[in-house]
Amino acid sequence: MDSGLAALLGAAVGSATTIAAAIVNGRAQARSQHAQWSRQHRRDAYARYLSALHDRDIAMDAVLAALRSDQPDLPDIDEKTGHFITLAREVHRAVEVVILEGPASVAEVAERVTAASGDLSHAMRRMVENAHAGDTTRKAEDIALAAERERTLYQAVKDFRLAARSVIGEAT
**Which segments of the chain have a pLDDT < 70?**
1, 8, 10-16, 18-35, 37, 170-172
pLDDT in tens, 144-161: 999 999 999 999 999 999
- The CATH number covering residue 110 comes to 1.20.1440
Query: For 142, which DSSP code?
Result: H
Whole-number pLDDT of residue 171: 46
Q: How far apart are CA 161 and CA 163, in angstroms?
A: 6
What is the dihedral angle through the alpha carbons of 25, 26, 29, 35, rounded to the nearest 10 degrees? Answer: -130
The model's pTM = 0.78
Q: How many structural domains does the chain have? A: 1
Taking only Cα atoms into account, the Rg of the chain, rounded to an integer number of angstroms, comes to 28
Identify whether 113 is part of a domain: yes
Identify whether 7 is part of a domain: no
Structural domain containing residue 111: 40-169
Identify whether 26 is part of a domain: no
